[in-house]
Amino acid sequence: MPENEDIFSAHEIGPEKPKRKAVPRKKAVSPEKKLEKDKKIKMEKELEAIYEDSNGKIPNMRVIQKRKHHPIVKGIFYLLFFGALLAATAWAGFFYLPGKNTGANQQLSLDIKGPVEITVGATTTYVIRYENKENVALKGAVLTINYPDGFAYLESNIKPNNSGATEWRLGDIKPHESGEVKITGQNYGALNQEKSWRALVNYTPENFQTELQKIVTLATKITDSPFDISISGPDKAAIGDDAEYTFTITKKTAWQPNALYLRPGLPANFYITSSSPVIGKDGLWRIKAAATSTTSSDEMVFVAIGKFTDQNSTIEETTSTKILAELQLPYGLDNRIFNIGSAEINTELTKSSQTFSLAINGVMGDSSSRPGDTLNITLYVKNSGKDSLKNANLKLAFEAPALKKQSALNWAGIEDKLDGTILGEQVSDAIRRGTITWTAKELLALAELKPNQEITVDIRLPIRTTESFDMSSLTEFNIKSIAELVYKDKTGAEKSLSSNPVAITLNSDLALEVRDSVADDGGREIQWVLSNSFHPLKNIELTATVFGDAEFIAPAETPAGTVTFDQDLKQISWKIAEMPESVDVLALPFTVKVKTVNSTQNTLISKVKVKADDTVSGKTMEFMGDEIPMKTE
C-alpha cells in the first residue's frame, strides 16, 4: 500500500486514550522499620486519647486559660517558700561562712596521750590536751573522764571538781586557747586485758545556743606482770605414790601490792597430805605485803605434797594430767580478782595395778549430811596386779569438827564387825582426827592379798545429835575422809596406796515430821512440822502432790511463808523466806477431802520434797518427807 493512502475502518473512531503512567515499584520495608512505625502510630493515638475532650476533639494547646487562686492560699505558698529559703541560707552560713560555728569536730581539738602497753601495778601518766581552733570562745567547757576498769587515780596537775576525780570544769576557752590535764594513777587488771580511756568535753560556742560535745578514746592493754610464776614437779607419777609440786613466784619490780593470792590448780584426784606454808581452807595461799621485802630479786616458794588417787577407774594405763597455778590480785572495795600470772606443767600419771575406793553413803565424791545422820562407809580393795600384796594394813581416817577435844563424830557408836583399832588425835582446836586400822589380825586376807583377790569392809559411823552435842558452837563444818593401804611388794619394799578422798559438809539438822488424822466429817487433817536447831536457813520450800479426786483446803492463816495449790498439777507448795536460829519449829496445817473414792488408789499425798539453803555452810539441803496413804492405820 502506498505510504500516503488513508486508512479506513468499520468501527467508530473515539477520542484517543491518554497513555498510562508507569507505576513505580514499592520498595520492601524492613521488619525493624515497620515495628518503629507501628510504635509511632500507637503513641500518637495514645496522646490523642489523653488530650482529646469529651467530644473527641483535640484542644488548641497554644491557648491556655489561667485560673485565678484564692489570695490566702497564695500567701501561704509564698510564706512557705521564703521560709525554706531563709532556713537553707542559715544552714549554709553555719557550715561555710568564715568566723561562724563549724561543728564540734572542727571547733575543738581533743586528744589523749599516754602509754598503751602497761604493766600491772605500774604508775602511769596520761595527758588530755584540748585547743579551741576557732575565732569564737567556747563557753562553760567541762571535761569528763571515764577511766579504764582497774585504773586507780592518784593525782592530777589540776584539781578535779568532784570526789571521784572524773570531772574538771575548764570554764570558757578563748579563741585559739589550749590547755591540758595530766592524770597520774596505777593500773590493775588481768594480763592481756584490753581497756579504754574515754574523755569528753561539753561546751557551748559563743555564737551558738546549743551545747556541743567532743569525745576521744585511747585503747590500752595490760601486757606485763611484775611477777613471774613457775611450777616444778615430777614428769611421771604413779597412783598412790607421793608427788611434790613447788610453786615459785619471782618479783621483777619493787612494786608490792597489799595482797596476793596463789591458787594451785590441782586435779580432782590429787589429795594434799601437807603443804608449806599451810594452804587455806579455800585452796589459796595468801601473800601479804609484809611477807616480802621491796627488792626486785625476791622469790616466794610454796610446796604442795600429796597423792594421786584411783578416783577415775576408767583412765588408761597412762594418762596426762595438768597442774596449774594462778597468781591473783584482789582489787577495790569489792575485792575483784585479776589474774596477773599463770603457769602449768604436765605429769604423766601411771595407773596402779590395784583398785582402791572409798564410798560414803553410796557417794565416792563430796556430799553433805546432818547431825544425827549415820555415815555408811564402804572400802573396796582389789589386787589387779600379777604379784601378791603381803603384810598389808588398811587405815581409814576422818578429820571432823570438834569442840573441847570431842569430835562431832560419835566414835563410841561405830558399828564394825572386824573390830578395828581406833586412835584419836587432836589436829587443832577445831579439828580432831580419828583413825581406824585393820591388820591381818582383824582381816586374814591382809596377810597376803593374792592377784585378783578382793576385800570389802563395811562400817557405820554416826554423827552426834544436837541434843547430845553443842553443834551451834562449832566453827568448822567439813568432815574429810581418806583411806590408805600399806603393803610390801614382792621385793619386800614397803609401798602405800591411797583411796579417793571424800568430803562431807555438815549442814543444819532440819527435819520434817508429817502428821495425819481423820476429822469428824471424814476429811484428812494434815500437818507439816519443820524443826531446826543448828544453822539459820533461807529459801525453804516444801512440795507434794495430791492424788485422785480430792479437795485441798488451806489454813485460814499461814504461820510463816506462803502456801499455794496448783489446781492443774494438784501440787501443794509451802515457801518460807528464812528460818533463823531463834525459831525451832514451824508447822503448816491443812485439810484434804476426798470427793470420789478410788478402790485402786493407795496414796493420798506423795512424799514431801524439802529444799533449803544452809546460811552457814553455804550448801543446799534436799531430802524427802513421808507420804500419806489413802487409809489410816
Q: What is the pLDDT of residues 448-493, one digit of tens each?
A: 999 999 999 999 999 999 889 998 889 999 999 999 999 998 899 9
The predicted structure's pLDDT at residue 97: 40
Q: Which pLDDT value is given to residue 73?
A: 53
> Could you give phi then psi for residue 218, rounded to 5 degrees?
-140, 120
pLDDT of residue 272: 86
CATH of domain 354-506: 2.60.40.10
Assessment of whether the complete model's pTM goes beyond 0.85: no
319-333, 411-425, 506-520: the lowest-pLDDT one = 319-333
**Once rounded to an integer, what is the mean pLDDT over residues 551-566?**
91
Q: What is the pLDDT of residue 5?
A: 44
pLDDT for position 131? 95
Residue with more model confidence, 206 or 96: 206
Position 314 scores a pLDDT of 47
Among 56-65, 241-250, 372-381, 472-481, whose mean pLDDT is lowest?
56-65
Residue 335 binned pLDDT confidence (cut-offs 50, 70, 90): confident
Q: Under CATH, to which class is 227-350 assigned?
A: mainly beta
Span 52-64, pLDDT tens digits: 555 555 555 554 4
Same fold, 104-223 and 511-629: yes
- pLDDT of 293: 44
pLDDT attached to residue 92: 46
Contacts of 257 by beta carbon, 8 Å cutoff, 6+ apart: 121, 289, 329
563 or 320, greater pLDDT: 563
Is the CB of residue 513 less than 8 Å from the CB of residue 585? no
Q: In the CATH hierarchy, which fold is given to the domain comprising 104-223? A: Immunoglobulin-like (2.60.40)
Pick the CATH number of 511-629 from 2.60.40.1170, 3.40.50.620, 3.30.110.40, 3.30.390.50: 2.60.40.1170
Q: Tell the residue number behind the cell numbers 513421808, with chain if given.
A: 626
Q: Please give the average per-residue pLDDT across 394-399, as a whole number.
A: 96
pLDDT for 46: 60
CA dist., res. 267 & res. 348, Å (int): 13
What does the pLDDT read at residue 633?
A: 57
Average pLDDT for the chain: 84
Helix (H, G, I), strand (E, B) or coil at 445: helix
- Per-residue model confidence (pLDDT) at position 627: 95
Determine which helix (DSSP H) or strand (DSSP E) holds 525, and give its type and residue range: strand 524-531
CB 550 within 8 A of CB 512: no
Q: Domain residues of the chain, as ranges?
A: 104-223, 227-350, 354-506, 511-629
Note the pLDDT tens digit of each residue in 257-316.
Answer: 888 999 999 988 888 888 999 998 788 999 875 444 444 457 899 999 988 876 554 445
* Per-residue pLDDT at 58: 58
Position 77 scores a pLDDT of 58
| For the chain, percent of residues with pLDDT exceeding 90 | 58
Amino acid, single-letter form, for residue 597: V
Torsion region of 144: left, alpha or beta (phi above 0 gives left; psi -120 to 50 gives alpha): beta
Tell me the DSSP string of 146-160. EPPTTEEEEEESS--
Statement: residue 133 has pLDDT above 50? yes
